[in-house]
Structure 1
Amino acid sequence: MAQPAAATRTPFALLAGPAMAGDAVAALMRRMGLQPEVCGADALPLRLALGPLTATLDRAAAALLDFADPADRATSSLGIGLLGDWRTKGGCWVVELGGADGAADAPSPPLVDYLKLLVLLIDAFDAAQIFWSPARLWTGAPQFRGAIAEMQASGMPPVLHLVAFRRRDDAGGERVGTRGLAAFAGQELEAPVPPGWDMAAMVKRLARLALDMMLNGAVARAQQAPGLERGETVALTPQPASGARPATVLVEFSADR
């Protein structure tokens, strides 16, 4: 099945906050030192610059709002609820990565700078919620801002704000997989659910593996390692991309109980 166009484009974020006129947005960006340049005949979109990174700021088009629809079962959220008029009140902004040196699908400085830019824009627009497109994930903007600030201090990426964890059933049984990890490590994770394990147990373990990959890069070869708790082991088997399916690491947990 083909992915929606928004799912395959450059990483972007949506900021849901108060409405603002285009001229006022440009003036605000100038005061913030983001060097706004008008990209068309109107006041929007704007091209912004932060160090080596450039990004495009605009009002979110209908196709992007459809892609981010929180009522769609394919969309994830981290403990938030959007107001009913979030689509129509004119305060949903798209910030799209563009023009930076380096690839956006690796843990490179430009992508880190992009997250820093999002923090600045959350404050500028007084955003209440943020949608992160690689994970197709809504989260509270103040919480996202705090998590990125903590990352800048500690160097530890906020996995739960950047990666979604999705549970599905298929012919092989229940599985939990990541969505959005490939933007940082070039691979996703997928794991069968062992008997008796709940979603919290799976997310706890997969988040730990995701953090390791975000810090250290992709899993290059099959390997086995100690698990999170005594007696657990985890087997990792990298699998190549296939069609619309990204490169994925098959994770198999086992425990002596």
Structure 2
Amino acid sequence: MPNTLRLDQSVTYGYRSEMPFQPPTVDGFHSHLHYEIYYFHAGVCTYIIGDRSYDLRPGDVLLMHGMTLHRPHPAPDQPYIRTILHFDPSVLHNYIQAKHITELLYPFEQIGNCRLSLNPEQQAEWEQSLASLQQIAPQANEKVSLRFMMRMCDLLSLLAERCKQEHIAYERIGKSGYAQAILDYIEAHYMHDITLDHIADHLHLSKPYIASVFKQSTGTTVFKYLYNRRITQATLLFQYQADLSITEASRLVGFKQLTHFSRLFKQMVGCSPEVYRAKWVNTIVDS
């Protein structure tokens, strides 16, 4: 039965959700501090993680660092069934000896983001594990239980072992590889001036074709994605460089005009860059 449990501030578990994707931000691109395990049960979906795109198949597992800009792009006329586990890696210190934590977090901290494609036998085992995790999950808002954490750590151990065995490398997938190539270009140049002419010259493609293939694969336009990438980077700058000015942050992420940066920042984040930066400065002062 589909269910989403916020077990506490450190763990969120959503089992076999069939709800339509509801973007948490403009165009659905978002990032978070928690690590994420995403299992795709059924449907048709392209998933964008940073500069990578994945055409998902049932039985695919995505492991995400969280801080990387990401979003699903499910087909609107198809079922979209997924199980998602978010967890704060620091919570493991309450249950596991420190010497074992590095091993459990290997896929997230050494690889960053990756996809595992399970065969039918592995899918059956994995889905049984997810169902058993759901059975022992506490009620909403209850403290996460020791049994739940031990079962979650068992899953992390299996994932880490699988990643090491297969020497996971990023896959380059997309319509003829072009959508992925566009994402690669944006990731490498978002802090500079980017136009469709630049991308077209780089890929030796026409501008209309670039716009079309990117929209089909990601569900958004090249420039909406570019602006989201820049704004997300700006939020990270404010979080980790408290002394950085608004003007300098705007310049570093690729905006020529401060007014344009401020307007898009408020539209996408929900507050002005000044307010957002002040919040993180105060957090550092109070800590």
**TM-score, scaled relative to structure 2:** 0.25
Q: Which structure carries more strand by proportion?
A: 1
Q: Which structure carries more helix by proportion?
A: 2
